[in-house]
Structure 1
Amino acid sequence: MATTSRQARREMDRISSLPDEPLCHILSFLQTQEAAATSVLSKRWRHLWTSVPTLDFDFDEKIYSNMGRPSYCFEKFIYATILARDARQPIRSFRLKYEAETYCRNADVNVWVNTVLQRGIENLHLWMSKFCRRNNVLRIVSCKTLVVLKLRGLRVYASSPVELPSLKSLHLEHVEFRKRQSILELVRGCPIIEDLKARTIHYVGFINYADRDPSVDAFFCDGAVKILPKLVRADLSPFCVDVPLKAICNVEFLTLNTNQYPNPLDDVVPKFPNLIHVVLQVDLFVNWPLVLAMLKNCPKLQVFELDCEGQPEDESFLPDPHFVPECLTSQFRKCSLEYYYGTESELRFAKYIMQNSTTLRTMTICSKPSLSPQAKLKMLKQLALCPKRCELSFE
């Protein structure tokens, strides 16, 4: 037993003898509270954690509950960490996950964010409770070193021009803007963005999302929609209607909520020359004209997913029997229908894909879990009678 203890000490001494840089790299994989705990190991480790280039704070009420006021103690620890660091040391990554029942003060969030913005920050993740959008982040829109920006449960009120020349990944979830074109200003200020995710965007005051403002598209770039040339992946879910599809037409991977767009015209669904994987989400009704327009305008499409999580109204699906989209006879490999209800239009669409695609390998149909076994058996019999050239999977 004593021998094992001595071996452990020798191993620890061997690690402690490493230079600061690899030790800080090791500590960067820990949350800041865990990294701070290593200060008790020895004198060698006492101040090492204050030089780690990443700060990762995750509020756990259980940890701080023994200290009286959990939120206050958590915020105090963040301040203590920032003050303990050498101001000349860079902070490359800052992650804050703060989901508490009490509101976090705007001033505190701004102090923390403004501090890291002055330290060469590259990755900034702010995850706040979606019900506490009282936190304002102001200077993020003028940071030239940011590469990854992920915001949740925040207000972004930008009064200065957006300038994020290094940003490649932008994720927004339950974020509130002052005006509708603010999200366009934000995206437009990211010239090399590669990954865009915007889920459940809010605006101050009431917005009628059914009324698409023509001036929004025109505002995007001096009267014309500016295409994001480096964009590879986009996820535009409900309440993000103001991002024109033409702006993201270079993507390879796209997730889109169909109910935020009207029945397509030529200027609504553009050509997607690079798109290989698309997920169309349905909340209210299946916009079949948009579905067909996507197939028509995506010549390189390989994977198609239709996710009808809501109860779809059975709008008529009437494809042109004399027209087959280019993708169905070139690179189309997989088609998936999630939350399948077995409506007449869904069945017609499944038949249309299986009959006309010469390259399709797998058609996967996942029925609504709440449907009865009798309803699922009826669906399976209908699908089994469909002529097909691919493997049919029914779940």
Structure 2
Amino acid sequence: MANRREKRGRRKRRRKPSHRKIKRIIDGADFINSMPDEILHHILSLIPTDLAMKTSVLSRRWRHVWCETPCLDINVCRLNGGTVNQTLPSYTAPKITSFKLLTSLDHNTAPEIDSWIEFPISRNVQNLSVFVRDFKYRKTYSFPVSFYLSSSLKQLTVTLDFFYMTPTCKVSWKSLRNLALRRCKLPDGSIDNILSGCPILESLTLGTCRLLERLDLSKSPSLRRLDINRQYCDTGPIAIVAPHIHYLRLTYSSTPSTLLDVSSLIEANLNIISSRLCPLTADRYQTMALKMLANSHNVERLTVGETLLQILSLAELRGVPFPTLKVQTLIVKTEFVRSVIPGISRLLQNSPGLKKLTLHTMQQSHVIMDMHPLKGFYPDQCWRSKCEMFPTSKEIYEMLGCNDATSKLVASFSELVLRNAKTLEMMVVWLGGSYFNDDAQWFQQLLQMVATLSHDNNVSILLKRSNC
């Protein structure tokens, strides 16, 4: 019994923190408290404002630190409107660098939202992000006039639940360089007003915006980057005039995007999102894909997504002519599957100046011909005869994680590229984790095989692991 008591006592003594450990904790707290305000403000700017406010109870030193943080992130869906109305008057910083607001018309009134937007504008905010939600899709919201007249804005992101964004005045965003509009209803007159008020705009993002039929960027000489995502079926067709842009990222579904003028384009990232909800046939997708490729034939750097590769494979099997490309760097994002191989082969053959190819392996979601079948044409039969060394989309899931199968796929793909790209100098393959087990010895053998191919063909081939 005495021995048990002694052991129990020793365990209790061991659990009791030593004076040295307590001193380290105190010294650590003193170290944080001794940091300059600028560092503390930066730390608090990385977390939502409602969490930053809770640090005021840590000590007298922290009581007012959050009030001077130049970056605020307010989620009214998590922090109720009454609390926000009480919080903002406590804020003492004369200038706001960044302000993020997420609110909902289901719980907040338009005048409240107006006041929350006018608050950072009155503090000369530079980076503003506003997301106004309406979970029932029955209400609408109009921004206050001061929002459209802010001369301090440099970066602006607006996300709406498909409300009209119709300025009630002449827009004047004289300092704005980066603009992102998502899920907005944008009549042509509204976007023209917005663009005319952004004389130094450099980057424009339009994400699933509706009603926009023509995007004329000819009067935006400083605009260099354009990102358009039109993956919903009801966004409607759009004609794009963008003679000054250098970079274009274009993703759409059933509604075509016509590139009327992209004469300065250097880099393009292209893909199509197919959906069972869209009524298009695979033939229609084929027409859209080839037009997209033809409009980008002058680019030096081209990124092609998985669905677009499938559609190009369909066109190749049908003998449809491809445009000749001036691309020097080609990036493809797909799996090692049969349905993309003819399209990749034709892209390589029609890129006589290609210097570098990068492949990002990724898990493919579907085969477009399964969702949009062709009348009187069975691509699987053609692919089987020409690309039998590559698996179908269904077969590859049985092979994932099999190192031997992956080695054969990498070898077959490398040989395919080397046969079709005569001017290639470098190939980079990013191999996703689903393609192999974590076997260091096997991976070294795979690297050796790639090195042999590289040496025999005088092409630098790099194999890298990715987390995709």
> Shorter-normalised TM-score: what interval?
0.7 to 0.9
Give the whole-Å Cα distance in 2 for the aligned partners of 1:365 and 1:10. Answer: 49
In structure 1, list runs of 5 or more residues that go unmatched.
Answer: 62-72, 204-208
Matches within 5 A, 1:97-246: 97-98=102-103, 102-129=106-133, 131=135, 132=137, 134-139=140-145, 140-153=147-160, 155=163, 156-177=165-186, 179-203=187-211, 225-238=218-231, 244-246=239-241
Does 2:101 align with 1:91?
A: no
SS in structure 1 opposite 2:116? helix
Deviates most, 232-241 or 247-256 = 232-241
Structure 1 length normalisation: TM-score?
0.73
8 A Cα contact 1:228 1:247, kept in partner: no
Does 1:332 pair with 2:329? yes
Q: Does 1:44 align with 2:52?
A: no
After superposition, the Cα gap between the structure-2 partners of 1:306 and 1:19, relative to the gap in structure 1 and judged at 3 Å, is closer
Looking at structure 1, the residues matched to 221 and 338 of structure 2 have their Cα atoms a distance apart, in angstroms, of 37
SS in 2 for 1:14: helix
Q: Distance in 2 between matches of 1:338 and 1:229?
A: 38
Partner Cα distance (2:141, 2:203) in 1: 24
Measure, in 2, the Cα distance between the counterparts of 1:126 and 1:317: 49
Q: Which has the larger radius of gyration?
A: 2
Give how far 1:48 is off: 2.1
Q: Mark the CA change 1:334 to 1:74 in structure 2 (over 3 Å): closer, same or farther.
A: same
Match of 1:355 in 2: 349
**Local SS of the residue matching 2:84:** helix
**How far did 1:269 drift?**
3.2
Code of the aligned partner of 2:152: T
Alignment map for 1:284-299 (pairs within 5 Å): 284=280, 285-286=285-286, 287-298=288-299
Matched residue, 1:304? 303
Q: Which residue of 2 aligns with 1:22?
A: 39
The answer to whether the 8 Å contact 1:181/1:242 transfers is no
2-structure distance, mates of 1:138, 1:202: 22
Kept after mapping to 2: 8 A contact 1:151/1:173? yes
Q: What SS does the corresponding residue of 1:308 show, helix, strand or coil?
A: helix
**CA deviation map 1:140-177 (0-9, x unaligned):** 22111111111112543311111111112211111234
- Give the aligned residue type for 1:333: L
Matching residue of 1:252: 247
The percentage of aligned residue pairs carrying the same residue is 19
For 2:321, the equivalent position in structure 1 comes to 319
What secondary structure is seen at the aligned counterpart in 2 of 1:334? strand
Aligned residue for 2:266? 275
CA distance in 1, matches of 2:39, 2:239: 45
Backbone CA RMSD of aligned residues: 4.0
Distance across 2 between alignment mates of 1:278 and 1:353? 14
Q: CA deviation at 1:37?
A: 0.9
- The offset of 1:40, in angstroms, is 0.9
User: Does structure 1 conserve the Cα–Cα contact (< 8 Å) formed by 2:97 and 2:127?
Assistant: yes
Pairwise CA distance, 1:122: 0.8
| Cα distance in 2 for residues equivalent to 1:170 and 1:3 | 54
**Partners of 2:130 and 2:69 in 1: CA distance:** 19
What secondary structure does 2:176 align onto?
Answer: coil
Residue 194 of structure 1 deviates from its aligned partner by 2.4
SS at match of 1:277: strand
2:261 partner SS:
coil
Cα distance change, pair 27–348 in 1 and its aligned pair in 2 (3 A)? closer
Counterparts of 1:243 and 1:229, CA distance in 2: 22
Higher share of residues assigned helix: 2
Would the alpha carbon gap of residues 369 and 83 (structure 1) be closer, same or farther in structure 2, given more than 3 Å must change? closer
State the alpha-carbon separation in 1 of the partners of residues 198 and 245 from structure 2.
15
Secondary structure of 2:271 counterpart? strand
CA offsets 1:177-235 (integer angstroms, 9 cap, x no match): 4x3321232133222222211111135xxxxx7xx5xxx56xx58xxx32442423423
